[in-house]
C-alpha cells in the first residue's frame, strides 16, 4: 500500500512561490503518491480581497492535513505585515507548533565564512520556542502619533510553554545521542520571564544526567557561535532570540538560502519552510536559492516517517555545494531551476 500523505502548499510572497515550486519538483520525484492542495494565501490575495487567513482553512489544516509546506510571507506593499502575522504566526499559534526546529549544519566547508572551520565544527540544532515570548502581540499603543506616545510589547513566558520546548530539546538530544545542551536567555536583565527559564531548565536538565547542560546569556551565545561553533550540539532558546540566532546560524552554514526549518507539534500537522524571507530584492530574477526549501522538504519527510528521504536530499544538496552547482549568492552561476535539476539528477542515481 502506498503511504500517501496530504500536504497543504502555500507559496506565499516574493521568492516564496519560486522556491516552493522547486521543492515540489523534488517532492514529485520522491513521493508522487502524495496528495497536494495549493492555498492562495499571501499579499496578492490580501490586496485583492482583504483575506489573510480564513478560519476554515486553519481548521482544515488541523483536521485533514499531515503537513504544510510554505514559502515565505512578507511584501513591501503590506507594510503592517498583517497577512504574514495571521497566516504564519497564526499557524504557529493556532496549530500550537511549539517547536521551531532549525538545524545549523554546514554541508560543505568552502561555504563557511569562518576561518579554519569544517563540517564537523558547524553541526548543531536550535530549538526555538514558537508560540509565546515576544511574539504574542500582547501590549498596545497609547496616544499613538503624539509626543506622549507609549508603546508596550509584552513578553509572555508560561511554565507550560517553557517546559515543553526545553523538554523537547532534551528528548531530541537523548534520542540522537547528543551530550551537550545549551540554553540561552537574558536572565541577567530580564528577571521575571527568564528567571522562569532558568528554573525550568535546571529542573529538566536534572532528569538527563548524561547530557552536559550549560547556560549562556544570548549575547554571549552569538559571540560563541562565531568563535567556537563546535561546542554546540543542541541549543534551546525563546522565540525572539531563536529568530535572531538562526539567521546568524544560517550564515555559518553557508547562507540564508541553505537554512531549512520545521514548525512542529509532534504527532500533529506541522509546517515546514525555509528560514529566509520573501527576498523582494531578487524576486522574478531566477536567482533564488531553492536549497533551503528543498532541505525543509527533507525535514518534512523525517516528520512524516521517511528520514531516508531526508538523508537522500542532504546527500544531493551536499553534492551541489561541493561542485559549486549553486545560485549567484553562493558564488555559482546556476538559475533557481537549474540547481533543482542537479538535485533531481543526483536523486535519480
Ligand atoms: P530575507 O530573508 O527575505 O532576505 C535577506 C537577504 O537574503 C536578501 O538580500 C535576499 O535577497 C537574500 N535571500 C533570502 N533568501 C534567499 C534565497 N533563497 N536565495 C538567495 N538569496 C536569498 O529577509 P528580509 O529582507 O528581512 O525580509 C523580506 C520579507 O520577508 C519581509 O517582509 C520579512 O518580514 C519576510 N520574512 C518572512 C519569513 C517567513 O515567511 N518565514 C522569514 C523572514 C522574513
Ligand atoms: C522567521 C521570520 C518570522 C519570525 C517573521 C516573518 C514574522 O523572520 O520565520 O524567522 O520572526 O518568526
Ligand atoms: Mn527570521
Cell of 4: 500517501
Pair 236, 116 in one domain: yes
The string of pLDDT tens digits covering residues 127-163 is: 999 999 999 999 999 999 999 999 999 999 999 999 9
- Residue 231: the pLDDT is 98
The mean per-residue pLDDT over the stretch 2-18 comes to: 94
Q: Is pLDDT above 80 for 70? A: yes
Pair 12, 92 in one domain: yes
Measured from CB, residues less than 6 Å from any atom of ligand 2 are 74, 84, 88, 243, 275
Q: Does residue 272 lie in a domain region?
A: yes
The string of pLDDT tens digits covering residues 287-346 is: 999 999 999 999 999 999 999 999 999 999 999 999 999 999 999 999 999 999 999 999
Pair 305, 239 in one domain: no
The string of pLDDT tens digits covering residues 90-109 is: 999 999 999 999 999 999 99
207: containing domain: 111-121+132-253
Q: Is pLDDT above 70 for 247? A: yes
- Residue 2: the pLDDT is 57
Q: Given ligand 1 and candidates 277, 280, 282, 334, which is best to mutate, with the most ligand atoms within 8 Å of its CB?
A: 277
Tell how far the Cα of 152 is from the centroid of ligand 2, in angstroms: 20
25 vs 313: CA distance, rounded Å: 12
DSSP 3-state percent helix, strand, coil across the chain (nearest 5) = 45, 20, 35
Q: Which ligand is nearest to the CA of 254?
A: 1
Express as a percent the part of the chain with pLDDT over 90.
99
- Residue 349: the pLDDT is 79
**DSSP character at residue 138:** -
C-alpha separations of 51 from 38, 40, 48, 86 in Å: 16, 10, 8, 10
Q: Where a domain ends, among 228, 253, 278?
A: 253
Give the residue, by CA position, lying nearest to ligand 1 atom 16: 257
Pair 244, 152 in one domain: yes
| DSSP letters for 61-91 | HHHH-SEEEEEE---TT-TT-HHHIIIIIHH
Q: Does residue 127 lie in a domain region?
A: no
Q: Is pLDDT above 60 for 213? A: yes
Q: Is pLDDT above 80 for 218? A: yes
- Residue 321: the pLDDT is 97
Q: Say whether 40 is catalytic.
A: no
271 vs 84: CA distance, rounded Å: 14
Pair 249, 117 in one domain: yes
Pair 234, 154 in one domain: yes
Pair 115, 220 in one domain: yes
The mean per-residue pLDDT over the stretch 164-172 comes to: 98
Tell how far the Cα of 188 is from the centroid of ligand 1, in angstroms: 32
Q: Where a domain ends, among 253, 276, 305?
A: 253
Q: Say whether 186 is catalytic.
A: yes
- Residue 3: the pLDDT is 84
Express as a percent the part of the chain with pLDDT over 70.
99
C-alpha separations of 313 from 49, 307, 319, 344 in Å: 38, 10, 10, 9
Check pocket membership of 281 for ligand 1, CB cut-off 6 A. Answer: yes
Check pocket membership of 83 for ligand 1, CB cut-off 6 A. Answer: no
Q: Is pLDDT above 80 for 1? A: no
Residue 26 is inside which H or E element, if any? helix 16-30
More confident residue, 1 or 347: 347
275 vs 249: CA distance, rounded Å: 10
Q: b/e map of 329-347 (b: 16 or more CB within 10 Å)?
A: bbebebbbeebbebbbebe
Pair 210, 238 in one domain: yes
Please check whether residue 53 is in contact with residue 86, taking contact to mean a CB–CB distance below 8 angstroms. Answer: yes
Q: Say whether 135 is catalytic.
A: yes
Q: How many structural domains are present in the chain?
A: 2
Query: What angle, 0 to 180 degrees and rounded to 10, lies between the N-to-C axes of helices 307-322 and 336-348?
Result: 120
The string of pLDDT tens digits covering residues 49-60 is: 999 999 999 999
Tell how far the Cα of 2 is from the centroid of ligand 1, in angstroms: 36
Q: Which of 6, 117, 186, 335 is catalytic?
A: 186
Sorted by sequence, the CB contacts under 8 Å of residue 152 that are 6+ apart come out as 139, 140, 141, 142
Residue 343 belongs to a domain with what CATH number?
Answer: 3.40.718.10
Amino acid at each position: 500500500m502506498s503511504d500517501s500523505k496530504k500536504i497543504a502548499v502555500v507559496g506565499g510572497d516574493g521568492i516564496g512561490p519560486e522556491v516552493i515550486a522547486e521543492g515540489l519538483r523534488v517532492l514529485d520525484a520522491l513521493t508522487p503518491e502524495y496528495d497536494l492542495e495549493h492555498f492562495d494565501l499571501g499579499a496578492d490575495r490580501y490586496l485583492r480581497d482583504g483575506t489573510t487567513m480564513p478560519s476554515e482553512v486553519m481548521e482544515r489544516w488541523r483536521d485533514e492535513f499531515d503537513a504544510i509546506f510554505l514559502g515565505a510571507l512578507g511584501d513591501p506593499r503590506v507594510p503592517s505585515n498583517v497577512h504574514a502575522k495571521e497566516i504564519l504566526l497564526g499557524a504557529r499559534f493556532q496549530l500550537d507548533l511549539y517547536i521551531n526546529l532549525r538545524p545549523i549544519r554546514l554541508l560543505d566547508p568552502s561555504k563557511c565564512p569562518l576561518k579554519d572551520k569544517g563540517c564537523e565544527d558547524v553541526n548543531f540544532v536550535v530549538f526555538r520556542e514558537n508560540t509565546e515570548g515576544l511574539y504574542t502581540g500582547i501590549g498596545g499603543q497609547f496616544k499613538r502619533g503624539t509626543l506622549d506616545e507609549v508603546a508596550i510589547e509584552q513578553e509572555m513566558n508560561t511554565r507550560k510553554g517553557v517546559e515543553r520546548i526545553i523538554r523537547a530539546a532534551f528528548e531530541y538530544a537523548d534520542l540522537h545521542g547528543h551530550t551537550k545542551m545549551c540554553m540561552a536567555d537574558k536572565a541577567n536583565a530580564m528577571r521575571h520571564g527568564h528567571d522562569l527559564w532558568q528554573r525550568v531548565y535546571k529542573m529538566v536538565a536534572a532528569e538527563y544526567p548524561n547530557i552536559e547542560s550549560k547556560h549562556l546569556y544570548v549575547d554571549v551565545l552569538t559571540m560563541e557561535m562565531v568563535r567556537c561553533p563546535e561546542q554546540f550540539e543542541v541549543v534551546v532558546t525563546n522565540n525572539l532570540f531563536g529568530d535572531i540566532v538562526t539567521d546568524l546560524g544560517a550564515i555559518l552554514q553557508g547562507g540564508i538560502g541553505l537554512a531549512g526549518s520545521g514548525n512542529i507539534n509532534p504527532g500533529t500537522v506541522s509546517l515546514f519552510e525555509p528560514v529566509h524571507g520573501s527576498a523582494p530584492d531578487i524576486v522574478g530574477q531566477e536567482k533564488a536559492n531553492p536549497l533551503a526549501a528543498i532541505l525543509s522538504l527533507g525535514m518534512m519527510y523525517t516528520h512524516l516517517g521517511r528520514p531516508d528521504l531526508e538523508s537522500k536530499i542532504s546527500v544531493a544538496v551536499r553534492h551541489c555545494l561541493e561542485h559549486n552547482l549553486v545560485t549567484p549568492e553562493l558564488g555559482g552561476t546556476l538559475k533557481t531551476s537549474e540547481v533543482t535539476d542537479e538535485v533531481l539528477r543526483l536523486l535519480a542515481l
